[in-house]
Amino acid sequence: MSDGQRSPTRDGQIVVSGLTKVYRNVRAVDNLSFTVEPGRVTGFLGPNGAGKTTTLRMLLNLVTPTAGEATVGGRRYADLTDPLRHVGAVLEASSAHKGRTGLNHLRVICAAAGLPKRRADEALALVGLTPAAKRKFKGYSLGMKQRLGIAAAMLGDPRVLILDEPANGLDPEGIRWMRGFLKSLAQQGRTVLVSSHLLSEMQLLADDVVIIAAGQLVRQGPVDQVIGSMAQGVRVRVRTPQADVLTAALKAESVTVATDEHGTLLIGGVDAPTVGRAALTAGVELHELTTERPDLERVFLELTAGKADIR
């Protein structure tokens, strides 16, 4: 295979290439390209207004792109026969008729997609909503609405799951359930693309991340790699009444020392044992010695700094 040739699109792979959406004067999504692999949970991250929802909606043929293309398993969503058997999507929690029961909401979708009626019962059971099957949607809590949305997405037993802010409105128990559920789907070999702005949750959930800001791709890759790629690596946090002495003692090592507003030292380029040894040798009294690893939140904020302005 020659170098320039692209590998053929795999089943269940999402490919976004050159996707652009212009609303009046705003480039909501600007020449965005990335891929999402099956068998992994991919976090789709970006500040509010970065274009996450618009991108997902273009991927699902709900919004027409100004330019570019998005495909699932090599085909555009509009070209899929039986789309619900390939792709399940959860876009907003409040999308059911308020006077309709949860079960009937799912049955309506089954009818439209040509799926058997029993799938509605099975999907409700899958998300643990069976007791509320005959209750009207307006009586559902936010968490129940999210679960109903997931049930709707699972009706066709799809290979690809796309979720827009699924953790919104969930309580801690609901969030943990969602995390386990999505991870198990990915383990079954399905593609899971989840947009969110809850970064700590994403660090627990995602294998890969796609970070966008102002409609453009900022970074894509496995979570560890993205975090590791940041210049600011591991830092050591030290509290001591003799900051000057310790700083001088560490001069020998090639370190960066910063001080926060409480006088705590943040030392980069060195590990905690080295700092401890230097302190012992210099006879410096230590009140705290902690290793601080960069997390997704810190990386995200650094990557998107200044790009999150209201456009």
Partner 1 sequence: MNLVRSELLKIRTTSTWWWLGIGALLSIALAFVFNAWVVNETLSGNGESLGVTGEQATPAAQAANLYTSGQYLGLMFVMLIGILMVTNEFFHQTATTTFLATPRRTSVILGKLVAASLLGFAFWLVTTVIDLAAGALFLSLNDHGTLLGEWTVHRALLFNLLAYAIWTVLGVGIGTLITNQLGAVITAAVLYLIGTQVVGLLFLLLANWLDTMSVIKWQVIWPAAASQIMISGGESEMTPAWWVGALVLVGYALLSGVAGVLITRRRDIS
Select the span of 72-80, 174-182, 269-277, 295-303 touching partner 1 (CB under 8 A).
72-80
Query: Is the dihedral angle over the CA atoms 119, 125, 127, 130 positive or is it negative?
Result: positive
Q: Does 71 bind partner 1 (CB under 8 A)?
A: no
- Using rule CB under 8 A, residue 277 touches partner 1: no
Angle at 179 between CA 202 and CA 43, to 5 degrees: 30
The verdict on 57 binding partner 1 (CB under 8 A) reads: yes
Here the tokens at position 8 are 């053929």
Closest to 77 measured CA to CA, from 8, 143, 140, 19:
19
Among 64, 262, 281, 306, binds partner 1 (CB under 8 A): 64
Residue 22 engages partner 1 in binding (rule: CB under 8 A): no
Question: Of the candidates 15, 19, 59, 60, which one interacts with partner 1 according to CB under 8 A?
Answer: 60
Q: Assess 109 for contact with partner 1 (CB under 8 A).
A: yes
Residue 139 tokens read as: 């009586």
Binding piece for partner 1, criterion CB under 8 A, among 33-41, 75-83, 225-233, 260-268: 75-83
| Separation CA 87–CA 159 (nearest Å) | 6
Under the criterion CB under 8 A, does residue 78 sit at the interface with partner 1? Answer: yes
1, 2, 112, 173: which one binds partner 1 (CB under 8 A): 112
Choose which of 17, 104, 130, 242 interacts with partner 1 (CB under 8 A).
104
State the residues that interact with partner 1 by CB under 8 A: 53-54, 57, 60-64, 77-78, 80, 83-84, 89, 91-92, 94-101, 104-105, 107-109, 111-114, 152
